[in-house]
Amino acid sequence: MTDRDRPEVHMQRAIALSRMHMEAGDGGPFGAVVVRQGIVVGEGWNRVTSANDPTAHAEIMAIRDACRRLETFTLAGCDLYTSCEPCPMCLAATYWARIDRLYFANTRDDAASIGFDDAFLYGEIGKPLSVQAMPIQRILGAEARVVFDAWMAKDDKIPY
CA distance readout (Å), 20 to 80, 118, 130, 158: 19, 24, 42, 38
Pick the catalytic residue: 8, 59, 85, 143? 59
Task: Report the relative pairing of strands 31-36 and 101-106 from DSSP bridges.
Answer: unpaired
Is residue 143 annotated as a catalytic residue, yes or no? no
**80: three-class secondary structure by DSSP:** strand
**CA–CA separation, 157 vs 160, rounded Å?**
9
**CA–CA separation, 14 vs 8, rounded Å?**
10
**CA–CA separation, 29 vs 23, rounded Å?**
8
50-71 b/e with 16+ CB inside 10 Å = b?
A: eeeeeebbbbbbbbbbbbeebe
Cβ burial, residue 37 (10 Å; 0-12/13-18/19+): exposed
Residues designated catalytic? 59
